[in-house]
Amino acid sequence: MDERHKKILQRNRTHLVKELDPSSLYDLLLEKGVFTQDMIDEIKSAGTRRDQARQLARDIETRGSRAFSLFVESLEETGQMQLVQALKEGSPLGTLQPSAPPVHRPTPQPLPIVPPMDDKKIIIAPITPIQKPSTTPTPSPEGDVLRPKAQRTRRDSIQNYKMDATPCGHCLIINNMEFEPKSELSNRIGSNIDCDKLQRRFTNLNFIVEVKTNLKQKQIRLALSALSKKDHSAFDCCVVIMLSHGTEVSHNRFPGAVYGVDGLYVPVQHITNFLNGQHCPSLQGKPKLFFIQACGGGEKDTGFEVSPEDETAPPCGGGEDDQTDAIPTSSSSDSLSVSDEPDARASLPTPSDILVSYSTFPGYVSWRDTQAGSWYVETLDRVFAESAVTDDLVTMLMMVNNEVSQNSAKGLYKQMPGSFNFLRKLLYFNHELKSIKINNIPIAINNSKRNMIAFEQSIVLKIPMNS
């Protein structure tokens, strides 16, 4: 596509996203040879109508010299004439809209500044209405009484997700180790160690674990689609774990992408879309957890030097066989143009009940030992084993971040895991403890009552023992 047509599309990007009906164009663009079926499927998987429209508007720029005219022709055939007129004239669609008459709104009056109150006073003392000062020039229509501020929610009152279903939910592990020669990606030696650890760990955490190995891009999408079509009504949670090569791609939600063994990638934001409230209704309001062991890009972090008093622990050395799962930054068609940024920011959704944990910071490599597995999974498995009884998920992930950050590959390179957290509550895994016997009396601690663990343990320690 020539630059003139690209600029027309970019100038009209915001309104294309707002007005375009992509579903009506798919068959026409397929018949005209603008897109293949796989490309159409990828656009459809972008999510909402706006997301699909945005993805289509980006991808059309990469489809050759006739793509623009065929796109306009398809808009004409589907009756989207306002967009046709804007694209043919080469002007932003917004200039075709008549300006709305100015709206005269009353000037808002400033509210009095109230000094902050102590938390304890908020809890103990009754809250009385606050009167406006008599110097207020114009009283509000509802009178001079202001509504009292709501009490601040204390941390100890934050709710926990329900996590006591048996089993708790499904856990899908996709482990890509052996890549096709045409992909030009190296085999991921040691990934089977990661997979075995995570399979055992989430089985112990009361999940139904399914492992799929060496999937191509389309097979990854099919596996995720099959998971989204399951009935999760009887379960409390769902987990997806991706072990593969990765790369950095432009995004408007979750960064990064994961490769299939055929060398084609699936963006992480598409992976999460399969299980969102729109595509998987039986998981609405339930936590959906994604763990990504893959590089976020090709940069290697050499860290920074800290003074001795700032060091919390001596640096750990990596193994001699440390490898990365890095692929160079993608230069594919989903790059975000400057003209698209305002719309992308304005239309960003707030995904609820989703957490995506990355093995490394976006843009950087993720290290894997061929003998012991990846730093991230090894640490994640150990922290979960030691702390799932008492700590919530976000706290445990901070422990993982801290430990991995102290490793060094080849005595030089560092790694920093992190998470995109859109959970609304605390999440405690329902980790079953083995019962113990004291004086031939079986005793077990019910983990669903975590606030009683320390108390119960103290009672157990005080039980007299027979010699």
- Both tokens of 321, joined, read 């066989």
Residue among 334, 300, 320 at smallest CA distance from 410:
320
CA distance 114 to 124: 19
Residue among 439, 188, 243 at smallest CA distance from 358:
243
Q: What strand order describes the sheet that includes 257-259?
A: 246-247, 257-259, 265-267
Contact 357, 291 (CB under 8 A): yes
- Both tokens of 306, joined, read 């800290």
What percent of the residues of the chain are helix, what percent strand, and what percent coil, each to the nearest 5? 35, 15, 50
Bridging pattern class, strands 169-175 and 237-243: parallel
Bridge partners (DSSP) of residue 408 are 317
Question: In sequence order, what are the residues at sequence separation of 6 or more whose Cβ sits closer than 8 angstroms to the Cβ of residue 299?
Answer: 363, 364, 365
Phi, psi of 52 (to 5 degrees): -65, -40
Question: In sequence order, what are the residues at sequence separation of 6 or more whose Cβ sits closer than 8 angstroms to the Cβ of residue 111?
Answer: 132, 146
Phi-psi region for residue 410, left (φ > 0), alpha (ψ -120 to 50) or beta? left
Distances (CA, A) of 369 to 190, 193, 302, 319, 323: 7, 10, 18, 6, 6
Catalytic choice (245, 270, 279, 316): 245
Q: Is residue 245 among the annotated active site residues? A: yes
CA distance 82 to 91: 12
Residue among 440, 444, 463, 332 at smallest CA distance from 389:
444
Q: Is residue 280 among the annotated active site residues? A: no
Contact 357, 365 (CB under 8 A): no
* Residue 20 Cα to chain centre, angstroms: 27
- Both tokens of 17, joined, read 């996203």
Residue among 15, 71, 11, 82 at smallest CA distance from 347:
15
Residues carrying an active site annotation: 245, 295
